[in-house]
Amino acid sequence: MTPSSVWAAAAALFAAAAVWWLLPPEPLSRLRPRDPRRLLAVIRAWATRLPMLPTRKDADRQEALRRSVPATCSLLATCLEAGAPPRRALREVAAVIGVPAGPELAAVVQRIDVGVDEAEAWAELATVPGYAEVSRDVARAIRSGLGLADLLHHHAREARLNLANVAVVRARGAGVRGVLPLMICFLPAFFAIGVIPLFATFQFDLPLP
């Protein structure tokens, strides 16, 4: 659910609660005094059912996870090419990659250590932002025995390309957003110097300067 749909649902909820409180279904209940706490209780009960919007901290963490994909895949591929088995490579990368990706990789290692199938443990990494395709393809490669290092190098290149494309889109968006302050500054001067004197000339027949 997008933030705009969440706010629309919240606005509709508040409007419905206000109408329900102001217009009770029982005719005799209108003679009783209104209790604001009743409306607040209804709003609070329904507000707990609405999905929470992501905070700035959550958004920054998700962005950091997506940015960690190229380094994670490259380090894993390097460890595999050096002869380390997948579990050891994952353990070493989880120890050096740092937060926020390190704890997520360490959780995969812990699941493998307690007896979870290695492919299934990798598949559970799909819930981490940026790692859905990596976890899916690595799980398939572990089951089929395909070249895992080449696959990880491929994902590292794709992740770097995606991050570069996102950076280009954001840079173009910043240029478009930068036009708005210029228009806000330009329009009052345009009306004050160009439109208002012309309107005054036609309205009061004043000579142009």
What confidence score (pLDDT) does residue 54 get? 64
Query: What residue type is assigned to position 201 of the chain?
Result: T
What confidence score (pLDDT) does residue 31 get? 45
Task: Answer for the pair 134, 93: CB distance below 8 angstroms, yes or no.
Answer: no
What confidence score (pLDDT) does residue 203 get? 55
Global confidence as pTM: 0.62
What confidence score (pLDDT) does residue 36 get? 58
The parts of the chain modelled with pLDDT lower than 50 are 23-24, 27-31, 206, 208-209
Task: List phi, psi (to 5°) of 208.
Answer: -70, 145
| Superfamily for domain range 61-168 | Type II secretion system (T2SS), domain F (1.20.81.30)
Distance CA 72, CA 152 (A): 9
Which run of H or E residues covers position 67? Answer: helix 56-67
Distance CA 194, CA 134 (A): 59
What confidence score (pLDDT) does residue 168 get? 84
List the domain boundaries for the chain: 3-53, 61-168, 182-209
Task: Answer for the pair 93, 79: CB distance below 8 angstroms, yes or no.
Answer: yes
Note the pLDDT tens digit of each residue in 68-120: 999 999 999 999 999 988 899 999 999 999 889 999 999 999 999 999 999 99
Residue identified by tokens 């604001």 is 36
The CA R_g of the chain, rounded to the nearest whole Å, is 29
What confidence score (pLDDT) does residue 151 get? 92
What confidence score (pLDDT) does residue 104 get? 93
Closest to 16 in 3D by CA, of 45, 53, 59: 45
- Could you count the other beta carbons within 10 Å of the beta carbon of residue 21? 16
- Could you count the other beta carbons within 10 Å of the beta carbon of residue 134? 24
